[in-house]
Amino acid sequence: MALLQANAVVMNVDANCAAIDAAAAAAALAGAGVLVTPELFPVGYAPRRVRAELDPARLPELHGKLADIARRHQVGLVYSLPQVTGQGEWRISATLLDAEGNSLLDYSKVHLFGPDERAAFSPATQPPAVVNFNGVPTSMVICYDVEFPEAVRAAAVAGAELLLVPTALAHGFDDVPQVLLRARALESQLTIAYANHSGVEEDCRFLGGSVIAGPDGRLLAAAGEEAQLLFAELDEDSAAKARGKVPYLAERRPDLYRSWGG
């Protein structure tokens, strides 16, 4: 699999989609089955500005352009865009496409981070779903969601063995990819692929630090601060092996936990 870590240009859709196109070509050439891109990358991460300047009527065209990228390069693709519900609520969403450009899975962000996201978007309420992607039970969450054990555990309990996470993590939060992500992967015994921005967009300096963590908590790949395309080869049996060795999921006691409250 491949992760794109790059600097988007806020509200320059053509430049950002060109970066995804180039990354998809390189990922396909290297034999990757999927390319994961950062949160809101096609429009850039600037929630208030995106809400003010993006015409929702452009969204179908953007989805079509990204599907064409996946189809032309014959590679799966995860991308994140705003979503506008039938009730007029703006949400942060992510989509998983197969190598033919077909949409397999959509997810909307449940946990919004900071005043800018909360001013521009509404939180979703639906749990992460799971689909069979290239033979692997796969789910998605977005950025801050992965920092809550409940969100990752919900995906794992639903059967996920691979969790794809577009993110927009600011500089200074190094412990999130280096400690917390590894703990989430270990405690729910799945692989987590976490793709972040790099550089500066508007006033936000991003950490970079994209990672792929295996079901045993080990890092399979890790990026520095600069833009790069990150690769890792996944063992499709790794989740089953980890769950067989220490059966965290099978030995949970959810009825008891509910009686504890919280």
Task: List, in order, residues 6 or more apart from 258 with CB less than 8 Å away.
Answer: none
Q: Which of 17, 39, 147, 161 is catalytic?
A: 39
Would residue 39 show up in a list of annotated catalytic residues for this protein? yes
Dist CA 14 CA 38 (whole Å): 16
74: left (phi over 0), alpha (psi -120 to 50) or beta: left
Dist CA 177 CA 39 (whole Å): 15
Dist CA 190 CA 88 (whole Å): 35
Nearest to 137 by CA among 88, 184, 96, 169: 96
Tell me the HSE value of 250 on the side-chain side, using a 13 A CA sphere: 7
Dist CA 146 CA 169 (whole Å): 12
Residue 177: CB atoms within 10 A of its CB come to 26
Strand spans (E) along the chain: 2-5, 34-36, 76-84, 90-97, 103-108, 131-133, 136-140, 162-166, 191-195, 200-201, 204-205, 211-213, 219-222, 228-231
Would residue 17 show up in a list of annotated catalytic residues for this protein? no
Would residue 109 show up in a list of annotated catalytic residues for this protein? yes
Residue type, 213: A
Q: Which residue shows structure tokens 């919900």?
A: 154
Q: Which of 17, 117, 143, 161 is catalytic?
A: 143
Q: Which of 109, 117, 201, 204 is catalytic?
A: 109
Enzyme catalytic residues: 39, 109, 143
